[in-house]
Structure 1
């Protein structure tokens, strides 16, 4: 790959992929089976396909992905611990015992966060989601408020949550395919180890009762590992899924399907289409410096920028597009800066595709400059 900087832009010309196939011979699922369909490259955030991506719909049990993500965030913050034990409250048992999909928590059950999260992610446990919410936040209302605050924080602007489990609530809970893509990408990028531990299990056994996971792609499509199905009579059948092959991670949404069989077939066909229609190209290796950003008032005048992992993009198979990368930040950045702090973004522009944005983080600490360093930086500025 040949690269050079031009007025702040990093321009990369990529060679055409080998073994290319004609995109016209590959079809996406029909609108009958997948009225709402959306696919992104999880690494770059590129939109690879969108049908009714901003249309609001009731996610049903896909809501539990937001509950799972919030639990991951609180675990990272030290507010929730995997071995922590919560108790089923009598009123919670009376309301949620054997209601919809459950993990069959008994009255007065004492259950770990690890088991609750596996119950929520693998067998869509309505009771488990409520016990987790009450145990972690004190009340369901406080947990739901935190769900909505976290949704806004990560950029889910067409979503609202009224419950921790997606049970029917007169339309207070809604989302969009675009927002579910934002949620899945945040989960994958922020919590890869927790994702691997909790998402994509074939099933779950609790209290002597074994149940299978009804995920339509895991174990059936190479590289598939989750994420969550949903169904109500009002919402129809939906699925938020992901799969990874050869470093390329795709996230897909299918929603509004009239039948479970149609949803399942559409999901499998859709993820296969994504891998056949697009090749993945690595622009930067994990840990490689992408660019630098100017720093004011720091011990160094610049900070190196890097991405969380290998920086890859998807390009339509059989094409040779120009890829332009632009580093953007509000600068100069102000010291002090901590290593790992998000300080910039990489805007990926590929001919014929929507732009995408990848967060860039400081590779190293930049403390505030000492008095002597400030004098030196000032003198250096006179000659540069």
Structure 2
């Protein structure tokens, strides 16, 4: 059997928008995703590993949330502060070695105050070897398990270090995991102030510039170092829609604030959710090798929606891509192909297509007919195709 990559055109019965007005960002890298539909609205250098600064604290928080849920930590447990943790500069909770700090306070200290010292305390408590470096190695392994293939951690806080990198897509994936996996902790990301033991100066608060603007913003984490520039991993929810976005490499905090607000407004105002396919609806057919049937229907397992520009104008066209013919037997629900579609001006969306029905392996006569057909086809090609 010779496998061939098949690409077939498919026209979806849907009024589609005029070309989407692309968002021109001054960020060095950016990624915008509508979580509700999974539609990617913006992708600029999204898979390029870059210094994430304090945005990498989100991975420290995710691991800590997992530890609390599993019982390895409790929210009321008090953790000691090492000399190493106390020595951190930059954004801190102003901890010292005489403190024993509740885990819940440390989590808020990381989320609201971006405490580098708090990250080190959590890291040393959860590290396999009791060191922040050991925790960073664990974070890297856990990130790989979660599909964050462009993330390497050297510390728990995002403090500048050679080789400490994340991609914008990885940060968006991590943000989505935090929102969906830990709804009990996620409201902390919308808190604007936290005064641990009255130590934080009155002018220190959550640096997320979108909180309190009335645009649905409720997280997640800013970042800034000289090398990384200003960045934000953010999320906002309006109605039933949620958007997650990541930007990095902006020149000033003011640029970050303006760009973030513009992205949220663009994502919610310029796009509307539209139904593309209904579960069970046949999109195309794939050829089957050695089966009782010569082809199998391709469909989607679940209803598919996507975001499209608000003005309708035509038809949404896509491509069905699979490697075939598909070898029998085929079971209903087997993933066999992908539907790829991309409204003009947006990154492509890929949707898995599954077998619409069972196709049993053919019997003896089926195999004879198939082999005979192959031999005849080769003979008809002339000497080069003959056996």
Is the TM value for this pair above 0.5?
A: yes
Q: Is the 8 A contact 1:29 1:269 kept in 2?
A: no
Q: What TM-score do you get using the length of structure 1 for normalisation? A: 0.70
User: Would you say the 8 A contact 1:221–1:268 is kept in 2?
Assistant: no
- Mapped to 1, the partners of 2:305 and 2:69 lie a distance apart of 26
Asked if 1:126 is matched to 2:116, the reply is yes
Who is 1:65 aligned against?
A: 58
Q: CA deviation at 1:159?
A: 1.3
- Alignment deviations for residues 157-184 of structure 1 (CA, whole Å, 9 cap, x no partner): 1111101001111x22011111111111
Aligned to 2:44: 51
Q: 1:14 to 1:183 in 2, by over 3 A?
A: same
Contact kept in structure 1, 2:18 and 2:309, CA below 8 Å:
no
Q: Give the structure 2 partner of residue 173 of structure 1.
A: 164
Structure 2 CA distance, aligned partners of 1:154 and 1:22?
34
> What is the TM-score with the length of structure 2 in the denominator?
0.70
SS in 1 for 2:138: helix
Question: Residue 385 of structure 2 corresponds to which residue in structure 1?
Answer: none
Residue in structure 1 matched with residue 263 of structure 2 by the alignment: 270
* Alignment correspondent of 2:253: 260
Deviation at 1:200, TM superposition (A): 2.0
Unaligned runs of 5+ in 1: 1-10, 292-304, 334-342, 359-384
**Which residue does 1:301 correspond to in 2?**
none
SS in 2 for 1:143: helix
CA distance 1:143–1:256, change in 2 (3 Å): same
SS at match of 1:241: strand
Q: How many residues align?
A: 313
1:107 aligns with 2:97: yes
Distance 1:350 1:80, change over 3 A: farther
Q: Does the C-alpha gap of structure 1 residues 12 and 116 become closer, same or farther in structure 2, counting only changes over 3 Å?
A: farther
Deviating beyond 6 angstroms after TM superposition, the runs of 4 or more aligned structure 1 residues are 343-348
Alpha-carbon distance, 1:15 to partner: 6.3
- Between 344-353 and 79-88, the greater mean CA deviation after superposition: 344-353
Q: Distance in 2 between matches of 1:110 and 1:149?
A: 29
Rounded Cα–Cα distance in structure 1 between residues aligned with 2:208 and 2:317: 35
Report if the CA contact (8 A) 2:111-2:189 is conserved.
yes
Query: Could you report, residue by residue, the CA deviation over 1:6-39 in whole angstroms, capped at 9, with x for unpaired residues?
Result: xxxxx985567xxx89844xx62442xx222210
Inter-partner Cα distance in structure 1 for 2:71 and 2:350: 32
SS for the counterpart of 1:204 is coil
Q: Is the 8 A contact 2:51 2:165 kept in 1?
A: yes
Hey, what does 1:151 align to over in structure 2? 143
Does the aligned pair in 1 maintain the 2:216–2:238 contact within 8 Å? yes
Distance, in Å, in 1 between the alignment partners of 2:276 and 2:71 is: 35
Deviation sequence 1:58-104 (CA, Å, 0-9, x none): 011111011111112222333222222211124432x22xx100111
Per-residue CA shift, 1:86-140, capped at 9, x if unaligned? 11124432x22xx100111233211111111111011100001100111223321
Task: Tell me, in whole angstroms, the C-alpha distance in 1 between the residues paired with 2:70 and 2:337.
Answer: 27
CA RMSD of aligned residues (A): 3.7
More moved, 171-180 vs 273-282: 273-282
The whole-number CA distance in structure 1 between the counterparts of 2:144 and 2:218 is 26
Q: How does 1:315-334 map to 2 (within 5 A)?
A: 315-319=308-312, 322=316
User: Deviations for 1:227-262, whole angstroms, at most 9, x for unmatched residues?
Assistant: 111111111111111101111111111111112211
Find the aligned partners of 1:187 and 1:68 in 2 and give their Cα distance. Answer: 9
In the alignment, the residues of structure 1 paired with residue 304 and residue 72 of structure 2 have an alpha-carbon distance, to the nearest angstrom, of 31
Partner of 1:84: 77
With over 3 angstroms needed to count, the CA separation of the structure-2 counterparts of 1:213 and 1:356, relative to structure 1, is farther
1: CA distance, partners of 2:191 / 2:317:
37
C-alpha separation in 2, matches of 1:218 and 1:346: 42
Q: Tell me, yes or no, if the aligned pair for 1:239 and 1:255 is still in contact at 8 Å.
A: yes
Q: Work out whether 1:208 is the aligned partner of 2:198.
A: yes
